[in-house]
Amino acid sequence: MKHVKISVLIPGMITAEDVIGKGNQLILPKDLVLTDKAIARLEAYQIKSIRIEDPVDIEVEEVEDEEEEIQEEKKKLVEGQVAIDSSLLASDADSLLAALAGLDSGETDVKGGDESQIEKTSTEKAKSVEQSIVVNQLEEPSHFEKVQASPQFKEFKKSFENNVSELKNSINDIVEKNAPIDVDSMLSSTMKLLSTQNNTFGVFDMLHNMRAFDDLTYAHSMNVALICNVFGEWLHLSDDEIKLATTCGMLHDIGKLKIDDAIIKKPGKLTTEEYKAIKKHPYEGYKILQHQNISEHVKNAALMHHEKCDGSGYPLGLKGDKIDPYAKLVAIADVYDAMTSARVYRGALCPFTVIEVFEDEGLSKYDVVYIMTFLENVINTYIDNMVQLSDGRKGIIKWIDKQNLSKPMVQLLDGTFLELAKHKDLKIVKIL
């Protein structure tokens, strides 16, 4: 095995180990026979050197080990550690519940069940423009086609469905029978599901491909729990804090079971009374959990996950540090999953459409540290994915522009690079 510069690589050489780039993404797998295309891929990712199997009859110059540099790049995924304070107790939440009597009235354009205030006309499902020319398809299947065909995804899908079924039974017992909550039992299967993924990015790969699963309250709660778990890692929380965040995500929408299912699933515009009923689900969730022997943060997350830092949320209209920190975390995971999942009145939104909405509106509505940590990390999960642009062209995401997260650099199928940030009329409308 030799460690050599990219400049001396030639087709026919064999990689001696996986080549990992920025964002912890696999660039090339071990034992790959290099081609011109593979070498060009390394150059596009600005990989300086790789390890190859000892070539036959070829003299190559070795380079110094760059392991430290690689590790340093990995550390850049998260800039600094974020600690969650235990500053808001149940007594604080109880003192605010009286404000619930003054719920808003009046007509609303909110569609059935999807109460996320950030979802506006800018989040309408992006429609692809029919291509005027025929472009060549890549010889390889897309990233998500590979995921869907993998044994890992099939195993994840089966485990996910089993977990949702178990969660449904547990939540129904809590709501209907006032059964005590066994947090450890509820978490055990979820943590096992997470442990099957090689890294945090694998979770988003799997969830993106689970969008065909009926998006009921239970599946949504499981999705949010998994996202909260990954989010907690990105925030550098402790193991116990990550488990607590996961529990908050799992139980945040328990109050929806007290709302008429016909309202939750209604495809048309809600009436004033229906919207008022929807807005009560955080309070209903808090009442269900209020006397359970669980963390106050879990109760507060159920009550406050629709609050916004600028005071525009509900049910209490809280601002800034008056909102439980775990509720702030759940709020971001909740909106991201709700908007990237199919609803009865629309299809799933492209993640880049959701990220664009967060960029436009999120900094005032969500904790800045939380939202920036989430966006910068979630965007890295889509590096190397094939996407479709609003003009019909297809390409592969190659580089992330931190100033314009929703508009990365894309390599088109003809090999040219396109900086979407320089083209306001172009956007990513679909991940292939």
For residue 260, what are the CA distances in angstroms to 76, 165, 215?
46, 21, 16
Helix (H) or strand (E) holding 63: none
Residue 300: which of 370, 242, 245 has the closest Cα? 245
Residue range(s) in the chain whose domain bears CATH number 3.90.105.10: 2-71
- Structural tokens at position 371: 């939202």
- pLDDT score recorded for residue 196: 64
Q: How many CB atoms lie within 10 A of CB 390?
A: 17
Q: Per the omega criterion (within 30 degrees of 0), is the bond before 351 cis?
A: no
Is 297:86 a contact under the CB 8 Å cutoff? yes
Please report where in the chains the tokens 């359970």 appear, as a residue.
292
CA gap 301, 392 in Å, rounded: 41
Residue 379: which of 353, 361, 360, 418 has the closest Cα? 353
Would you call 301 helix, strand, or coil by DSSP? helix
For residue 247, what are the CA distances in angstroms to 188, 308, 385?
11, 21, 31
- pLDDT score recorded for residue 133: 24
Alpha carbon 258 to chain centroid, angstroms? 27
- Structural tokens at position 183: 């947090």
Is 210:227 a contact under the CB 8 Å cutoff? no
One-letter amino acid for residue 262 of the chain: A
Could you tell me how many helices (H) and strands (E) the chain has, helices first?
Answer: 17, 9
- pLDDT score recorded for residue 316: 94
- pLDDT score recorded for residue 77: 38
**Which CATH architecture fits 2-71?**
Alpha-Beta Complex (3.90)
Is 304:318 a contact under the CB 8 Å cutoff? yes
- pLDDT score recorded for residue 241: 97
Is 254:174 a contact under the CB 8 Å cutoff? yes
pTM over 0.85? The answer is: no
- pLDDT score recorded for residue 309: 94
CATH number for domain 90-124+148-344, candidates 1.10.3080.10, 1.10.3210.10, 1.10.357.10, 1.10.260.40: 1.10.3210.10
Is 94:286 a contact under the CB 8 Å cutoff? no
Q: How many CB atoms lie within 10 A of CB 103?
A: 14
Quote the strand ranges of 166-240, DSSP E: none
CA gap 263, 278 in Å, rounded: 8
Residue 106: φ, ψ to 5°: 110, 160
For residue 322, what are the CA distances in angstroms to 89, 177, 310, 316, 327?
11, 32, 11, 10, 10
Is 351:431 a contact under the CB 8 Å cutoff? yes
CA gap 124, 360 in Å, rounded: 15
Residue range(s) in the chain whose domain bears CATH number 1.10.3210.10: 90-124+148-344
pLDDT tens across the length of the chain (432 residues): 888 888 888 888 889 988 887 656 677 888 888 887 788 778 767 788 899 987 544 455 555 544 444 444 444 434 444 556 555 555 455 555 655 544 444 444 555 554 443 443 333 433 332 233 223 333 455 666 677 777 878 888 888 888 888 888 999 999 988 899 989 888 888 887 777 665 554 787 788 777 655 556 788 999 999 999 999 999 999 999 999 999 999 999 999 999 988 888 887 788 989 989 999 999 999 999 999 999 999 999 999 999 999 999 999 999 999 999 999 999 999 999 988 877 666 667 888 988 998 888 777 899 999 999 999 999 888 888 889 999 999 999 999 888 889 999 999 999 999 999 999 899 999 888
CA gap 331, 417 in Å, rounded: 36
